[in-house]
A and B are shown apart, each in its own frame.
Chain A
Amino acid sequence: MNFQAIKVIYQFEMLRMWRTLFQSVFSPILSTSLYFIVFGAAIGSRIQSIDGIAYAAFIVPGLIMLMLLTQSVTNAAFGIFFPKFTGAIYEVLSAPLSFFEIVLGYVGAAATKSILLGVVILTTARLFVSFEIAHPMWMIVFLVLTGITFSLFGFLIGIWADNFEKLQLVPLLVITPLTFLGGSFYSINMLPPFWQTVTLFNPVLYLVSGFRWSFYEVADVSVGISLSVIFLFLCLCLFGVWWVFKTGYKIKT
């Protein structure tokens, strides 16, 4: 195992976050704060509580999940896309590194960034609303698993994308709509029966539901199913990454 290489890839990627601190950290905090002001304070004050939880508090897990998913995907995708774009990837591919080590470096850094951001947003949320976390350990499990899984997914997008447009395509056109429609801002019980059934096909629902359960012990679907869905998606992403390195898809000729 080339630990030195994993370490330098990880450090190099983390360094990029500090170089682009405003874009990486401050802008997600700002947008989350805006969500709290608009949905929590302005609109939320006129909405009744959901499942006995004040609306502003109800949306906290969903908002963290929204940021966690988009940031994991974006960070990991950009992390591998950029060296591909500049051509600097040659160095990683010619180094004595296995695909596992490369993924560990890049995905580890992307997941760390998004999890850190999740924690920062959680802290920011606490400034706006009062809430308790019923199962902090489970909250961390959901946070970490989701961060890793979606960083792997982002890594695959970064490998697949051969231009900046494709790089933005999935986070903007897939992740964001799925998160909005996955019960981040409402309980699916509020939907008509037909749309409730449709929403069950949205994988993000299971992430948001499980995460919200760890806060308030209320969930749209059972926690076991939520965890199973995350594991399933994690396995799919791992398989995808393994296949990319096995075949050299878009990185080796």
Chain B
Amino acid sequence: MQSLISISDLSKTYASGFVALKNVNLDIRKGEILALLGPNGAGKTTLISIICGLVNPTSGTVRVDGHDIIKDFRKTRAMIGLVPQELTTEVFASVFTTMVYSRGLFGKKPSPQYIEKILRALSLWDKKDSPINELSGGMKRRVLIGKALAHEPKILFLDEPTAGVDVELRKDMWTLIRQLQTDGVTIILTTHYIEEAEEIADRVGIINHGEIIVIEETSELMRKLGKKQLILELHKKLESLPADFDIPNLEASADGMQLIYTYDIHMDRTGITALLSRLSEKGIRFRDLDTKQSSLEDIFVTLVGNNQS
């Protein structure tokens, strides 16, 4: 797929000496939803801020659609919309006025029809004349999204879009993000909510200590690094596994009512058949079974843990 944003050897060291990014190389593809995951202070916001022109890089280059973000800043910034992490809006202006302002800032001619379309899509049309300081937190978040979309950007950065947002609004946002992708917008979001990335992202990048540890298709990442577990609900409590029961990756639960077998689904032999035959031989009976795929969260914790050790 065609690369829309190319980041090469990007580094950022703040005046305090804090190294926020270390030689980051990343290609963001046209039309994808990329989720950037990472703990606090990992460098996610710094990366976004550099691309959007809010932070000056220490070294390295970023090209958006072939244009350098510093030399051709007018072209690159016109393509980008940014939804910041904090609820940073004008306070006393009305919703509609602030949308008109945002569109104009990016050099677009006024289009009340387009702004109406966005406000309706964000369920803000009936609040168009309300001053922003009279809106709830969730509505302010929607206003920020509206402002970022007001100039019809090709790329949308969402920095922690669903932080502190209720379930309903979060679902609405996912729907909106998917719709934007259908409309051809490339979306980059940072998040703490791993299930969010798992749910909507085409690719996941994991940042830690200013470095990209992994960047992979979400499904591929799950496939490569995800483990599966077979959980067997036993008929009777098992005090301990028989001594000659030499099956690796098998353990009993603390209450002795479950056996948990972890396996790799990509291996030719998962060992499930062997396990079930051995259980039958030993007369260990089970009344139910279940399988569980490890979540992106498990993968994230493993990767970040490895990176720190």
Contact = CB atoms under 8 A, between A and B. Distances in A.
B52 to A, nearest CB: 4
A94 B52 contact: yes
27 contacts: A4-B108, A7-B104, A8-B100, A8-B101, A11-B101, A12-B97, A15-B93, A15-B97, A83-B90, A86-B91, A87-B86, A88-B89, A88-B90, A91-B82, A91-B147, A92-B105, A93-B54, A94-B52, A94-B54, A95-B106, A95-B107, A96-B78, A97-B105, A248-B56, A253-B14, A253-B15, A253-B55
Interface string B32-61: 000000000000000000001111100000
Given A88-B88, A88-B89, A94-B82, A253 B105 contact: no
Contacts of B53: 93-94
B56 A86 contact: no
Interface stretch (B2-10, B69-77, B162-170, B208-216): B69-77
A19 interface: yes
B92 interface: yes
Interface residues of B, number: 35
A90 B78 contact: no
B109 interface: yes
Question: Which of B53, B73, B82, B105 has the largest number of chain A CB atoms within 10 A?
Answer: B105
Given A90-B84, A91-B102, A253-B15, A4 B107 contact: yes
B107 A2 contact: yes
Per DSSP, are chain A's interface residues mostly helix, strand or loop, or mixed? helix
Contacts, number: 78
A90 B107 contact: no
A90 B101 CA distance: 13
A65 interface: no
A100 to B, nearest CB: 13
Interface of A: 2, 4-5, 7-9, 11-12, 15-16, 19, 83, 86-88, 90-97, 248, 252-253
Given A86-B89, A95-B106, 8 more contacts: A5-B105, A83-B90, A90-B84, A90-B88, A94-B52, A94-B82, A96-B107, A252-B54
Contacts of B89: 86, 88
B105 A8 contact: yes
A19 B92 contact: yes
Contacts of B52: 94
Nearest to A9: B105
B80 interface: yes
Interface of B: 14-15, 52-56, 73-78, 80, 82, 84, 86, 88-93, 97, 100-109, 147
A229 to B, nearest CB: 36
Nearest to B82: A94
Nearest to A10: B104
A7 B92 CA distance: 19
A12 B74 contact: no
B73 A96 contact: yes
Nearest to B77: A96
Contact of A86 (B88, B103, B106): B88
Given A4-B104, A15-B93, A252-B55, A87 B78 contact: no
B55 to A, nearest CB: 5
Contacts of A86: 88-91
A207 to B, nearest CB: 33
Contacts of A90: 54, 82, 84, 88
B88 A8 contact: no
Nearest to B108: A4
A248 B90 CA distance: 22
Contacts of A2: 74, 107
Contacts of B77: 94-96
B41 to A, nearest CB: 14
A135 B141 CA distance: 55
For A2, A15, A88, the residue with the greatest tally of chain B CB atoms inside 10 Å of its CB is A88
Nearest to A102: B105
Contacts of B100: 8
Contacts of A8: 100-101, 103-105
Contacts of B108: 4
A172 to B, nearest CB: 24
Given A4-B107, A253-B15, A96 B92 contact: no
Contacts of B91: 86
Given A15-B93, A87-B88, A94 B55 contact: no
Nearest to A253: B55
5 closest A-B pairs by beta carbon, nearest first, are A87-B88, A8-B104, A96-B74, A95-B105, A96-B77
A154 B236 CA distance: 81
B92 A4 contact: no
A87 B132 CA distance: 14
Contacts of B76: 96
B92 to A, nearest CB: 6
B105 A91 contact: yes
A96 B103 CA distance: 11
Nearest to A3: B107
A253 B82 CA distance: 17
A206 to B, nearest CB: 38
Contacts of A87: 84, 86, 88
